[in-house]
Structure 1
Amino acid sequence: MGEVSADAVTLNLLREAMETVRSSPLGIINTPLIPWCQTTLPLSIDCNIFLKLENMQRTGSFKIRGVANQFTKRPKGLHFVTMSAGNYGKSFAYALKHYESKGKVVMPETAPVSRANLLQSFGVEVERVPTSSLMNVVTRCVQEDKMIFLHSYDDLDLIAGHASLGMEVLEVNSDPDVVVVCCGGGGLLAGVAAAIKLSGCAKTRIYGVEPEGACTMYKSFIEKKPVGMDAKSIASGLAPPFAGRLPYELCQRYVEAIVLVSDQEIKAAVSTLYKSGLVVEASGSAAFAAIVNNKIPELEGKNVVCIISGGNIGKDELADFPD
């Protein structure tokens, strides 16, 4: 990816990406935004919370939005490589099949084996490596095998595609007080935050949520530059080796703060959601975990949007969660 600045992310760009996503042959769903009060989920805070159910996307997560915008900008028939713990890889594989292209996913060894098997069933090559080696392997594929690298979170087209989620939220709730979004490399958080702020919601507070053991954006905010770490969390989709440069710039501009949740809080959130009939993976439940554990300040009496970002969780993974 070239050195694109946050200034390149304009409202016109995001509107164009929204139309691309909506007209994509990949079949992106305008997912429901449901009031918390219409679920059986417990809530101890006196506020109006809405859940944006991206676990209902065709590929089980929000990632298909950014992928749709990325692939529209590239010709068919190329050989692509990416890095992913699973959700981006699944959407990437789905798009490859539609666009008659080939691809490889470099996956961290910490990701569930079931996810690697799923991607291979789509006909995509998977190479599992230590998290710290992800970019080295991608670079080798680009240099030696002449593959085209599609970044799974630090990419302008991807972020613009993810921004469609924020635009959809505003179509239902035109001026939310608070929006809570999970954060790994920062692509979703950056896109949603840019969409909401550039649409004129100056007073909306936007929070990113990271696992304590994979808090690259949190540390980036402290050090005032994108940083990496040996990220480890049960939420493998939120544990990239480093924060994205463009996502960091956009988050610095539009995000109120990054808050942290523990793996135990994430596990409990997955179980709570499951008991209420919502199948949500660990990475997809981080924003919910932050809300129920009172990590987001001043929610009383507010209109709050919580992004449920993905539901790709297998039986083998669910067995590790408390009843």
Structure 2
Amino acid sequence: MNPEEIFSMIKEASSCLEPVIRKTPVMISDAISQLSRAEVFLKMENFQRTGSFKVRGAYYKMSKMRGVKSVVAASSGNHAQGVSYSASLLGMKAKIVMPKYTPFFKVNAVKGYGGEAILHGETYDDAYLKAMEISKEEGIPFIHPFDDPEIIAGQGTIGLEISDLDFDAVIVPVGGGGLISGIAIAVKRLKPNAKVIGVQPAGAPSSYLSFREGRIVETDRAYSIADGVIVKRPGELTLKIMREFVDDIVLVDDREIARAIFLLLEREKTVVEGAGALPVAALLSGKLRLEGRRVVCVLSGGNIDPSMLDRIMNRVLLLEGRQIKVMGVLPERPGQLKRVIDVVAELGFNIVEIEHERLNPLIHPGMTQVTLVLEVPGREYADLLISRLRGMGLEFSQVMF
């Protein structure tokens, strides 16, 4: 199928989806604009029904399957929810094969939308093979998460929705390539001078490598906190479209992704998953030179595990110097820990956590190892605290990250 045909499908999909999805807002971000020295707009697909853009492609694809009673898909996250939700609207049954260790909140979300969650295998690839087996045995269609022209067209409706904006570049998360393929076709058709730039995690770079080499490159291992875009290989169709319509793809690491998640929550009061934070991570990392340009960042989803969000927040606070961790050894005598806490209180720091370890065999008998996590105005305050404690004869040091 050629790009002009897909663009026609994108326009058809827009009408099809209008009564079903949310036309998510585009919001200017003063904070990210200031940090990146660009004029930054956020396309808030984390506000979309089911929490991500995936419902667009799933519903459009499934709405065209006349007479179909059941479908099957493989996914550990957003595609699973998009297919399940679409099936519930279209009167279909959806079987979703998910890896055995999929977080419970994702499994429960599928069930909540009326889908049947089938836990199988260790990885997405295991789940995919099982889903294909079910498709063949039961004679029901398999809904591919990205390498399908109708899926691509549904995702491409985002490109139509931002086309009224005056922008120089749109930055899009990349996994298997379905989202950026649809957006790229729409944007290049309507705003041919605008750049389309993809972002993929450094720990799962299959589309990046394939884009660079002009052929499918399959990675042996893939890991990132941006679990929504972890694929070992892109699609044949999506790679062809990316090579023709996408200007560049860059990589960001998990620290950069975590910082972007943190910034969006703190400064924009919006929750995004790792995949959704990729465009902001790319802007803030310096991987893109877009100073003075008008830029749209597609925040593709907000389905993040609450426990993962908590770990990310605490990690970034430590990395940014907003929290510090100090460790020292105190004599096992009454009042010794109070001396430390009194200094912390005098300096106006807040205690987040205290660990009191008496049984460490490496510590001299009669001594206790104490570790404190503290909220501080900035990383430079660690030296002030350490200096005060050492001045009292207490040997403390900062735990570095």
TM-score, normalised to structure 1's length? 0.90
* 2:213 is equivalent to residue 217 of structure 1: no
User: In 2, are the aligned partners of 1:212 and 1:260 still within 8 Å (CA)?
Assistant: yes
Deviation by residue 1:126-183 (Cα, 9 ceiling, x = unmatched): 2242233233212211222222101111111111111110110012x14x21110000
User: In 2, are the aligned partners of 1:177 and 1:204 still within 8 Å (CA)?
Assistant: yes
Query: What SS class does the counterpart of residue 138 from structure 1 fall into?
Result: helix
Query: What SS class does the counterpart of residue 59 from structure 1 fall into?
Result: helix
The structure-2 alpha-carbon separation of the partners of 1:113 and 1:42, relative to structure 1 and needing over 3 Å to count, comes to farther
Alignment of 1:17-28 (within 5 A): 17-23=13-19, 27-28=20-21
Alignment of 1:107-256 (within 5 A): 107-108=98-99, 111-126=102-117, 127-129=119-121, 130-171=123-164, 173-174=165-166, 176-199=167-190, 201-229=191-219, 230-256=221-247
Query: What SS class does the counterpart of residue 176 from structure 2 fall into?
Result: coil
Deviation by residue 1:243-266 (Cα, 9 ceiling, x = unmatched): 011111111111011100111211
The structure-2 alpha-carbon separation of the partners of 1:109 and 1:282, relative to structure 1 and needing over 3 Å to count, comes to farther
Runs of 5+ unmatched residues, structure 2 = 315-401
CA drift of 1:76 comes to: 5.1
The structure-2 alpha-carbon separation of the partners of 1:58 and 1:121, relative to structure 1 and needing over 3 Å to count, comes to closer
Runs of 5+ unmatched residues, structure 1 = none
User: In 1, are the aligned partners of 2:173 and 2:200 still within 8 Å (CA)?
Assistant: yes
In the TM superposition, structure 1's runs of 4+ consecutive aligned residues that sit over 3 Å from their partners are 5-11, 40-43, 108-111
Larger radius of gyration: 2
**Cα distance in 2 between the residues matched to 1:228 and 1:11:** 28
**Cα distance in 2 between the residues matched to 1:192 and 1:245:** 17
TM-score, normalised to structure 2's length? 0.73
**Cα distance in 1 between the residues matched to 2:100 and 2:227:** 10
1:283 — aligned with what?
Answer: 275
Question: What letter corresponds to residue 49 of structure 2 in structure 1?
Answer: R
2:44 — aligned with what?
Answer: 53
Residues matched between the structures, number: 310
**Cα distance in 1 between the residues matched to 2:256 and 2:67:** 43
**Cα distance in 2 between the residues matched to 1:131 and 1:228:** 14
Query: What SS class does the counterpart of residue 73 from structure 2 fall into?
Result: strand
* 2:94 is equivalent to residue 103 of structure 1: yes
User: In 2, are the aligned partners of 1:154 and 1:247 still within 8 Å (CA)?
Assistant: yes
Q: Percent identity?
A: 33
User: In 1, are the aligned partners of 2:120 and 2:126 still within 8 Å (CA)?
Assistant: no
The structure-2 alpha-carbon separation of the partners of 1:144 and 1:208, relative to structure 1 and needing over 3 Å to count, comes to same
Query: What SS class does the counterpart of residue 210 from structure 1 fall into?
Result: strand
The structure-2 alpha-carbon separation of the partners of 1:70 and 1:263, relative to structure 1 and needing over 3 Å to count, comes to same
User: In 2, are the aligned partners of 1:226 and 1:243 still within 8 Å (CA)?
Assistant: yes
Q: CA RMSD in A?
A: 1.8
- Larger RCO: Structure 1 or Structure 2 (Cα < 8 Å, ≥ 6 residues apart)? 1
User: In 2, are the aligned partners of 1:6 and 1:246 still within 8 Å (CA)?
Assistant: no
CA drift of 1:109 comes to: 5.0
User: In 1, are the aligned partners of 2:6 and 2:149 still within 8 Å (CA)?
Assistant: no
